[in-house]
Chain A
Amino acid sequence: GENVEQHPSTLSVQEGDSAVIKCTYSDSASNYFPWYKQELGKGPQLIIDIRSNVGEKKDQRIAVTLNKTAKHFSLHITETQPEDSAVYFCAASLNYGNNRLAFGKGNQVVVIP
């Protein structure tokens, strides 16, 4: 099955700086890559996603890039704010009738005011 790895496990950034989280995946057939943000005591919330026919997608301060050849994708958060502090999960999915998502272990992002 699909295996997704995230790096680094913890990331501390100064408020206003950028944060980048990288994920790698194992199955070259994967073609859907969402990112989720999870705050304490809450379920994961979808913040951005990308499909394999696109190399980059941006939504305000958040962007995701995908490198299919290297089988990795990254989340970029610019102008970080304290409310960006959370655990971020990447995931990957095979879209041939298989609806499961394979998640990474998560990254704890801490934005220091």
Chain B
Amino acid sequence: NAGVTQTPKFQVLKTGQSMTLQCAQDMNHNSMYWYRQDPGMGLRLIYYSASEGTTDKGEVPNGYNVSRLNKREFSLRLESAAPSQTSVYFCASSEHGHNYGYTFGSGTRLTVV
């Protein structure tokens, strides 16, 4: 059981380049999330998708777009990368219901130079 799979694990981009971070889950979860983790800042929610076909902004959505391609996949796109987007990005998923926690992927470490 793979859980939540993120690709790539590492990426270096030049300022202005674009890229898409991929996330897929095999647990039939309804909800999916994208977070960024920066030192001293904890986890900050970028976007989330409560169910297939819906997406909503989180705490720090600027500079990002998302696509909930189907129930399994939730991608995060950086259209024009900036050094401030250097971070570790985590995807997570959860079952629908307030007593469920999240299952996290192993992360993508992104450096923008």
Q: Do A and B come from one complex?
A: no
